[in-house]
Amino acid sequence: MLTHHIVQGVIAAVIVLAVVNAAATAWNAALDARRPLAVARTLGATPGQVTTGLIAAQLLPALPAAAIGVPAGMGLYALLQVGPDAVLLPSAAQTVCVIATTLLGLAALTAAPARLGARQPVHKALQSEQN
Residue 104 has pLDDT above 90, yes or no: yes
pLDDT at 71: 85
Report pTM: 0.74
Taking the C-alpha atoms of residue 72 and residue 58, their distance in angstroms, rounded to an integer, is 21
Name the DSSP class of 43: T
CB 18 within 8 A of CB 65: no
| 9-25 pLDDT, tens digit each | 998 999 899 889 988 98
* Torsion sign over Cα 62, 64, 65, 70: positive
pLDDT tens for residues 36-86?
888 888 888 888 888 898 899 889 998 999 889 888 988 887 787 766 676
Helix 2-32 × helix 34-42 angle, to 10°: 50
